[in-house]
Chain A
């Protein structure tokens, strides 16, 4: 089992540039989460998908952030244009949700993308 795979592991970009983060969830999982982690704010949920459909994007900071999940094995998080305050570690996680029971099995995290915007 390869686990959740994120790319790139590190990204350094200039302010104003577009950044695209990628995630491949664990096969068979139907829920995918994008989190952002900073020292000041901890782990913040940005958006989550269930069966490739965005369910809750209330954590997305602003219109500069967008996320897609075109199929069950791939998701992207895009920041356009990027700003220095977007610098953080971005984690993708996947889980199996049990519909009707409103519960999840454990979430598995990718190794994260460390984003630095200068």
Chain B
């Protein structure tokens, strides 16, 4: 089983739609969770950290479900500029652990 798994998509949605991505992780001791965004031919950039209580940043909401070992990203009122690949990032438990990236979910928002 991969450490971090994501549906590669692509998710094709119209402007204004709400879209949600899930990401599952295998290490139950993981403590740090992030969503990154990567535009074509660019480096990944942090979109938001994911906290245990869930967190929201404008149109973006991130949730963590430790019992089922997944994190989610919800995007409301999609914009054309949201088209990108969204990467789930998880690290392991105690001590020094890797930051492991999922393969990403591609989102295409159309007019």
Task: Give B35 Cβ to nearest chain A Cβ, in Å.
Answer: 10
Q: Is B31 an interface residue (CB 8 A)?
A: yes
Task: Check B95 against A102 for contact (C-beta < 8 Å).
Answer: yes
Interchain CA distance A50-B46 in the complex, whole Å: 21
Chain A interface helix/strand/loop/mixed: strand
Interface residues on B, range: 20 to 34
Most buried by B among A41, A45, A48, A102: A102
Most buried by A among B29, B94, B99: B99
Task: Check A101 against B101 for contact (C-beta < 8 Å).
Answer: no
Interface residues of A in 93-110 (CB under 8 A from B): 93, 95, 97, 99, 101-104, 106-110
Q: Is B32 an interface residue (CB 8 A)?
A: yes
Task: Check A55 against B46 for contact (C-beta < 8 Å).
Answer: no
Chain A: residues with CB nearer than 8 A to chain B? Answer: 31, 33, 35, 41-43, 45, 48, 50, 55-56, 91, 93, 95, 97, 99, 101-104, 106-112
Beyond A42-B101, A48-B98, A111-B42, 10 additional contacts (C-beta under 8 Å) are: A43-B87, A48-B99, A50-B96, A56-B98, A102-B31, A104-B99, A106-B49, A107-B34, A109-B44, A112-B43
Chain B: residues with CB nearer than 8 A to chain A? Answer: 29, 31-32, 34, 42-46, 49, 87, 89, 91-104
